[in-house]
């Protein structure tokens, strides 16, 4: 079944406003919600960064949709034991509705504890080590672990759901997409070229089969950024002002401060969003864009609108786009 979800941008909006957006998203026909898990916004202009785990507890009461993090990073900011406790509690409160999304992280959010920021390959290894710890904790066993990146001493979760929360990894790399198929329950990536998306999905399926799992039974999720406004120039202006990081075609994992992204944003031009952010005021372009992505094999697509005009965007999608792309 093809589902369109709403992406709640905690970098851009405060917690009360985000709740209002999600209530509206459910009302107009979005089928699920994912939220970013940041300590800092990408740029000072974006202006917010509430603690997503406190907010998720309120979200579950305000909407009836499934929801999750996209994504949380195990590391110094969140030891895997803390993430496991948070995710298990969320699943107890809202059974069969919560999913824990994981990623290798960016220095923007993770450098704040003052520890060493690992190289990319070490960040991936740290993430995979954390997945193993999470899985063990979700069984209710007493966990002791002495690994390369984490130590766990006699840890046990006492508040456990009937079923552990599903885990997924968001990745754009070939190795980690395969490991996601092996170790997790679902897969997410961010909008990319057709060739790259097909490669990632193929690797995910290979990993699932290697672990004797049926990839057809595992969800494939995609996060896309769009900038919609009633006229094209406003849509471009919104993307440039509110989401310039979407036009940065280079690795961003080692950049530490919103002010550094702000300086880099001065080099972003409208053409830099091509192939990275759909900038359009026309319903038919949004419809064809989503149909194309669903045809590649995704079951769930989460849409983030770059601008501040969330209420108008949600109404536009509810009236013009969602009825044309979602299955009942």
For the annotated catalytic residues, the residue numbers are 38, 106
Question: 214 CB contacts (<8 Å, ≥6 apart)?
Answer: 208
Distance CA 278, CA 246 (A): 10
Ranges assigned E (strand) in the chain: 3-8, 33-35, 67-69, 98-102, 143-146, 151-155, 167-170, 186-190, 219-227, 277-279, 300-305
Strands 219-227 and 151-155: unpaired
For residues 207 and 107, the answer to whether their CB atoms sit within 8 Å is no
Q: Where are the beta strands (DSSP E) in 107-261?
A: 143-146, 151-155, 167-170, 186-190, 219-227
Q: DSSP assignment, residue 174?
A: H
Distance (Å, rounded) from C-alpha 292 to C-alpha 85? 38
In this structure, what DSSP letter does residue 13 have? S
Tokens, residue 117: 């920021």
Tokens (6 digits) for 94? 């809202």
Q: For the stretch 98-116, what's the b/e string if a residue is b when 16 or more beta carbons lie within 10 angstroms of its beta carbon?
A: bbbbbbbbbbbbbbeeeee
């Amino acid at each position: 079944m093809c589902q369109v979800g709403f992406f709640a941008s905690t970098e851009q909006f405060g917690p009360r406003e985000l709740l209002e957006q999600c209530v509206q998203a459910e009302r107009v026909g979005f089928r699920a919600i994912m939220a970013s898990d940041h300590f800092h916004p990408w740029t000072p202009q974006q202006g917010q960064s509430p603690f997503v785990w406190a907010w998720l507890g309120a979200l579950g009461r305000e909407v009836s949709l499934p929801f999750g993090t996209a994504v949380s990073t195990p590391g110094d900011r969140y030891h895997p034991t803390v993430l496991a406790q948070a995710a298990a509690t969320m699943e107890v409160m809202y059974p069969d509705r919560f999913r824990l999304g994981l990623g290798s992280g960016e220095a923007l959010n993770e450098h704040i504890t003052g520890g060493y920021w690992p190289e990319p390959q070490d960040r991936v290894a740290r993430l995979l080590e954390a997945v193993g710890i999470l899985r063990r904790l979700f069984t209710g066993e007493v966990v002791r672990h002495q690994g390369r990146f984490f130590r766990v001493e006699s840890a046990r979760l006492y508040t456990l759901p009937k079923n552990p929360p599903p885990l997924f990894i968001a990745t754009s790399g070939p190795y980690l997409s395969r490991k996601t198929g092996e170790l997790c329950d679902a897969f997410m990536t961010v909008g990319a070229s057709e060739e790259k998306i097909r490669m990632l999905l193929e690797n995910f399926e290979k990993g699932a089969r290697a672990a004797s799992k049926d990839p057809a039974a595992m969800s494939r999720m995609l996060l896309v950024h769009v900038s919609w406004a009633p006229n094209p120039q406003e849509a471009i202006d919104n993307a440039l002002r509110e989401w310039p990081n979407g036009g940065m075609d280079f690795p961003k994992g080692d950049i530490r401060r919103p002010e550094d992204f702000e300086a880099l944003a001065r080099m972003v031009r409208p053409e830099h969003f091509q192939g990275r952010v759909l900038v359009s005021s026309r319903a038919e372009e949004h419809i064809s864009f989503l149909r194309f992505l669903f045809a590649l094999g995704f079951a769930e697509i989460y849409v983030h609108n770059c601008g501040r005009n969330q209420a108008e965007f949600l109404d536009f999608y509810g009236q013009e786009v969602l009825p044309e792309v979602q299955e009942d």
